[in-house]
Structure 1
Amino acid sequence: MSALPVDPGLYLTFLGVMGVMAITPGPANLFAVATGMARGPAAALAGVAGMNMATLVWFAAAALGLSALIAAFPEAFRLIAVAGAVYVGWLGLKALWAARTVADAPAPALAEGAGARPGRGAFVEGFMVQILNPKAVLFFTAVLPPFLDPARPAAPQLGLFAVATVGLDVLSMSAYGLGGAALALAMTRPGVRRAFGAGTGVLLLLAAALILSRL
């Protein structure tokens, strides 16, 4: 048995695969953009923190035998996917409704957090989006297992894979979220705010559609 916790070649390959997955637009990155657009940079980062907390929960589940559980109960994956799509779609509909009710008076920039929902709410929503994201289930049941070396202890390998996954996801999701927030900070006119609110809702509904497309 090697003294190294992971196979170096497999780990480098994993980093490449994970890098591509992290920057690919999907439900998590679209949620980050939508949150940044609607609530500003602080809420976007809180949402990123929530999503990556959920990722750590998935790693813990993987350590406890998630793959075997999904294999034994295949309908569990479908239920998780449907629940995730419904939740993200509900967030999108809420954003569209909020866009319809934007006041005609000019609003201050979100830089001071005016009108933004508390970061705690964004954290919880981010956690729910990722914990119900079927992309996460596929990752831990199909993508991750081939990179695990059965000749080495599983816990250290999962720990290093978790560091890489969360690190790359934080960078990508934060870039998406702060990009959305930067656009929102430029808004002063009600008509523009309504358009961005509608854009937020469309992004979230698109994320819900992406989730359902994986079924």
Structure 2
Amino acid sequence: MTALPVDPHLYTTFLGVMAVMAITPGPANLFAVATGVEKGRASALIGVVGMNCATLVWFGAAALGLGALVKAFPQAFKIIAVLGALYVAWLGFKALRGAFSTAADPEKVVVRKGRSAFVDGFAVQIANPKAILFFTAVLPPFVDVNRPVASQMALFAVAAIGMDMMSMSAYALSGAALSRRMQQSRFRRGFGVFVGILLMAAAVLIVSRL
């Protein structure tokens, strides 16, 4: 019987974490909203394609880096996985803390007129702090050191890009309506609690599989 390319339990947990991160407002989703408002839905969707092309570049780099790390330092990789799980828990704690604090208004993204939406989208995601942290801290705990890294990265990429495409497109097409909804403190508070609980539960699941 051929072994599966990914650990089913880790992959299921990854799908849950990725779903939460995909729908959480951040530079990428806010860029999609701003582009939809400023340039229209077609440009916003082109920007979404640009952002996910940048994500694909990140996955390629992660596959090369994580593959070399697993091969050279398997024990060190487990330590990185634990740190990644702690980071996911920290994200959950921050979401809960933000939900019950007098948080400032959500950050805003400025869209430059006259520029290609694809180029802008690619630039936003390639330098997105949320993306950098995802690939350096969140992704490693889900990699099984006993399975080929490349095939795992391919399945992680399919899931991540698929969810991001759906989430970013929803933000882009909803535009101003969703932006106004996120300005409501009650809605933001409930959303923060939901995200925080899911992320902390995911961190527990990650640690239990190490």
> Same fold judged by TM-score > 0.5?
yes
1:162 aligns with 2:157: yes
Residue type matched to 1:142 in 2? A
CA positional deviation for 1:180: 1.1
Of residues 106, 109, 122, the one that matches 1:127 is 122
1:122-146 deviation per Cα after TM superposition (whole angstroms, max 9, x unaligned): 0000000000011111101110000
- Residue 71 of structure 1 is matched in structure 2 by none
Runs of 5+ unmatched residues, structure 1: 69-88, 96-115, 184-195, 197-215
Residue type matched to 2:156 in 1? F
Q: How does 1:1-215 map to 2 (within 5 A)?
A: 3-65=3-65, 92=110, 121-180=116-175
Residue type matched to 1:133 in 2? N
CA 1:122–1:181 in 2, change beyond 3 Å: closer, same or farther?
farther
Distance, in Å, in 1 between the alignment partners of 2:26 and 2:39 is 20
- Contact 1:6-1:157 within 8 A present in 2 as well: yes
Distance, in Å, in 2 between the alignment partners of 1:27 and 1:182 is 18
Residue type matched to 1:25 in 2? P
Distance, in Å, in 1 between the alignment partners of 2:2 and 2:132 is 30
Runs of 5+ unmatched residues, structure 2: 70-106, 181-210
Distance, in Å, in 1 between the alignment partners of 2:176 and 2:133 is 30
For residue 65 of structure 1, give the secondary structure of its aligned residue in structure 2: helix
Rg larger for: 1
CA 1:7–1:149 in 2, change beyond 3 Å: closer, same or farther?
same
- Contact 1:39-1:117 within 8 A present in 2 as well: no
1:11-52 deviation per Cα after TM superposition (whole angstroms, max 9, x unaligned): 010000000000000000000000000011110100000000
Residue type matched to 2:36 in 1? G
Residue type matched to 2:29 in 1? N
> How much is the aligned-residue C-alpha RMSD, in angstroms?
2.9
CA positional deviation for 1:2: 6.0
- Residue 82 of structure 1 is matched in structure 2 by none
Identity of aligned residues (%): 69
Number of corresponding residues: 142
